[in-house]
Chains A and B, each alone.
Chain A
């Protein structure tokens, strides 16, 4: 074995040194990635058909936040509002009078949706790959995308006439609800099949693939039988994008994604132990079946929530975790947040490019994302191993 390929191969380097140095570098990377996502988000908010300077973008966000806090306090906490009003420092409004409306009203929800979707898909992918010890697993392997597509297709084919006239939700929300419910249903079906056959990796993956094909058959049947107008609407949804962004969607997703992230991050050590095999993990006191099922349910839930608003966004759930593993190693304590941030960054950059390259015409985000992510992944492979941070 070539010693030069080892990250540190000197005999006098202790485990303490290796561990501390690795941890410091990984935390620095995660901090750097977090800052990069924030800076990219600010820059992205300024880019578009109407260009806004970074300074105006920051002022627009700051001023809008200050006004929102003030309104909230006056409405619900008048005693605190008086104290808040007495603060001598105020954030000035941006120079460009349209900046606040464009940045806060239109672009930020879309940016937040891209970040949340990137985080949830990449985290779900990292966790699923760890749970099933299979690098080809992604949120879509277990039938999620096909099931969500079927749900959305069903809502689109039923059409606004049927759904909105009988129920209170808007047509767009029905597509979201159907996509989420069917995405979640796919996981329930996989769970149900695996409960009767045992939660081994192969059972879960096979069950997921079969469920995926069944829903794909449903989508194809709906495509075949529907009219042209609905077919086009369906194809747009299947290509995915951030068109469904709104503050209400963001406010709904933020707590869900945070809770799912915390729950999955809490199982990081158990996921590490599972990498040594089911038997070793069981010997280490881990309830492997419970870990596998709860991890899959939580990660599918997070992915379904976001996909319901965005349509099918591939690549991130599969490649995001791979890219991170090459950089930060396989310790899930660091891999999960790193994958989430990388997913957020890839989707944010891709979406920004998708809406600006041919502005004012938008192109599907998948085109940009597969190109950027694919080239970056190839670069990491060509760069070779042994130079990771771990």
Chain B
């Protein structure tokens, strides 16, 4: 399994929000997209998810351009969790996760589809909440339900747009650990937009730094997420702390705007 992104550009009218983005995602690889607000992370994720069409460049999955793949077939390959999620008032957790199997369901739901829903919920330790209503869950639990929905899709590529933004630190680590296990178990690739650079540091195999729609860095986290890079991209002074648990980035001062 390999996803290759080549010279992808995206324009809204006159404004270019993605500019010649090129990188690849291999089997069981986690790629973290980092960058300030408005740098194009969400746009890139949505373009990869087939929600937007790129203005130019190509995105291919195992050598096939996604524009040539039927939308239903593409849905079997790419699972997406949005930054902001919506749900219906009277829907339950398992019904929401079942939506991830939409492309496999014609009308009635088979035992196999239900088993996949159960498996996805169990993977996120939410099996005991299957019958709960979505509006009774906390924000973090709801986010986990949407992650479970993407797991139920059983895709080759997971796309997560800030999946841990509504989670407390325990859930953040738990979800990232689960996602890493899933990519290893299933051999799927994952592109995850994150604001917490330490999560990228700790869980990503590769980091793509976006700044103003352009790639400002691409490589291993420890090579790319340096204090110099943070300073250039975010305008924040930071230092690296290293101990037996690994390296940690500590941002400590926002520089005044030039």
Contacts and interface: CB of A to CB of B under 8 A. Distances in A.
Contacts of B107: 269, 333
B128 A276 contact: no
A1 B138 contact: yes
B49 A279 contact: yes
Nearest to B95: A331
Most buried by B among A133, A285, A325, A388: A285
A329 B99 contact: no
A278 to B, nearest CB: 8
A284 B114 contact: no
A262 interface: no
Contacts of A282: 49-51, 71
Interface string A1-18: 110011111110111101
B102 A326 contact: no
B71 A15 contact: no
B82 A325 contact: no
27 contacts: A1-B141, A2-B136, A6-B129, A6-B136, A7-B133, A8-B130, A8-B131, A9-B128, A9-B131, A14-B114, A15-B94, A15-B114, A16-B114, A18-B92, A19-B109, A19-B114, A277-B84, A279-B82, A280-B85, A282-B49, A282-B51, A282-B71, A283-B80, A285-B73, A285-B102, A331-B95, A390-B95
A273 B99 contact: yes
A197 interface: no
Nearest to A16: B114
B99 A390 contact: no
B86 A14 contact: no
B136 A1 contact: yes
A283 B131 CA distance: 25
Contacts of B90: 325-326, 329-330, 385, 388, 390
Most buried by B among A13, A276, A287, A388: A276
What 5 pairs between A and B have smallest CB-CB spacing?
A: A11-B128, A8-B131, A285-B75, A285-B71, A285-B72
B46 interface: yes
Contact of A7 (B46, B92, B111): B92
Given A15-B117, A275-B88, A276-B85, A283 B136 contact: no
Contacts of B94: 15, 18-19
A260 to B, nearest CB: 19
B114 A275 contact: no
Given A6-B133, A284-B103, A330 B128 contact: no
Given A15-B130, A272-B95, A282-B50, 9 more contacts: A7-B132, A9-B132, A15-B114, A15-B117, A15-B118, A269-B105, A276-B85, A276-B96, A279-B51
Interface size classification for chain B: 35 or more
Given A8-B131, A285-B75, A330 B102 contact: no
B99 A280 contact: yes
Interface in B110-125: 111, 114-115, 117-118, 121
A385 B99 contact: no
A18 B131 contact: yes
B36 interface: no
Nearest to B45: A279
Given A276-B87, A284-B102, A329-B92, A13 B131 contact: yes
Contacts of A15: 94, 114-115, 117-118, 121, 130
Contact of B86 (A5, A133, A287, A330): A133
Interface size classification for chain A: 35 or more
Interface in A351-378: none
Given A1-B136, A19-B109, A329-B90, A276 B99 contact: yes
B35 interface: no
Given A7-B92, A276-B86, A16 B118 contact: yes
Contacts of B73: 285
B91 A330 contact: yes
A78 interface: no
Given A269-B105, A275-B87, A329-B91, A283 B132 contact: no
B176 interface: no
Contacts of B50: 282-283
B71 A287 contact: yes
Interface string B134-147: 00111001000010
B78 A283 contact: yes
A283 B49 contact: yes
